[in-house]
Amino acid sequence: MVTGIFCGLTAAFLNSVGYLFSAFFLKKCNSPVRLLIYAQIWMMILSLPVVFFLYPAGGVARPARLFWTLAAWIVVFFIGQGSFFTALKFFEASRLSSLLGLKIIVLTVIYSAVNRVFPNFWQYAAVLMAAVAAVTINWSGGGSMRTKGWIFVFITLICYSLADMTETVMVLCFVDSGLGTVRSAFTATSLSYTALGLISLPGLVIFKPDRNFPLSAPYALIWLLSQAALLSCFALVLPVFGNVILASRGMFSVLLGALASAVGLAGIEARISRAQWIRRGFAALLMVLAIAVYSFASRG
């Protein structure tokens, strides 16, 4: 449980850093699709050597299940990532990051319906607290909301929730084949993004690499590391609790966003007042409480 929480917090922090890098790219090159294609190519370049090193020599126990799960993941992740990058045109990175905390509610509904395993009262309460904390962080000032971006947020929440579930299945496919949890997470991550990058290669015909191509590399590297940590978390504590922990990225995003604003990156993040800091501080404490409640409720 402790290891799973640590992996989740690591993923949350790296997610927040990655979101800032993606927002920086979009400020330089206002094209979500270009960022999507460039990032996938970089992830393939980084992941391909890892696949050869980590993939089990004897194969996996259920290759058909792994293949179809990977195919489903590619579809939902590609749509979700594209929607997220588009939403960044309407929301600041820190506020959009905190809004993704609402994914907990979407994931809980989908996970419960598919697996017919319903959380208990305290787990539902923890999910609600985490969602309230995420929304409180988002509505604590720092710029006006853009209604037009909500449709992309909604699509992102659904696709990311489905991606979390398929990622967990892929990790468990490798675990069932005899690999350790951490190695399974890194293997599933590298395999997924290698396949995604290969499918994205035709996009370079339209979006030829230019001077902005290297600017997408930091985001790609940080995102890959965050996903490896997140998949480890999912394998250890399952997707719903993993997303309760991941919702803490709202706290990291607030701090990083304030830092970005303080050093003059006002185009990415707006300045916030002391009162807004206090409001976000209470939201952060509520997020920590949600993690604690869900953790103890999971132990029965």
Distance of CA 270 to the CA centre of its chain: 23
Q: CA 219 to CA 212: how far, in whole Å? A: 12
Instruction: Look at residues 246, 241, 257, 254 and name the one whose alpha carbon lies nearest to residue 282.
Output: 254
Q: CA 243 to CA 230: how far, in whole Å? A: 9
Distance of CA 280 to the CA centre of its chain: 21
**Which ranges of the chain does DSSP label H, i.e. alpha helix?**
2-28, 32-54, 63-87, 93-99, 103-115, 121-138, 150-176, 181-200, 203-206, 217-237, 239-246, 249-262, 274-298
Burial class (CB in 10 A: 0-12, 13-18, 19+), 32: buried
pLDDT of residue 60: 87
pLDDT of residue 104: 74
User: Number of C-alpha atoms within 13 angstroms, CB side, residue 105?
Assistant: 14
For residue 90, give every residue at least 6 positions away whose Cβ sits within 8 Å of its Cβ, in sequence order, or none: 146, 148, 149, 152
Q: CA 81 to CA 223: how far, in whole Å? A: 11
Task: Provide the 10 A C-beta neighbour count for residue 28.
Answer: 13
Retrieve residue 174's tokens: 């490798």
pLDDT of residue 70: 95
Has this prediction a pTM greater than 0.85?
no
The identity of residue 87, as a single letter, is A
pLDDT of residue 47: 93
CB 17 within 8 Å of CB 221: no
Q: If you search the block for the tokens 């953790």, which residue do you land on?
A: 295
| R_g of the chain computed on alpha carbons | 19
Residues 94-118: b if buried by 16+ CB within 10 A, e if exposed:
bbbbbbbbbbbbbbbebbeeeeeee
Blockwise average pLDDT, block size 10, the chain, 300 residues: 86 86 82 89 93 85 91 94 86 72 77 76 82 70 64 91 89 88 88 94 90 90 89 79 76 73 60 69 76 69
Residues 41-59: b if buried by 16+ CB within 10 A, e if exposed:
bbbbebbbebbeebbeeee
pLDDT of residue 268: 56
Q: If you search the block for the tokens 């929607």, which residue do you land on?
A: 83
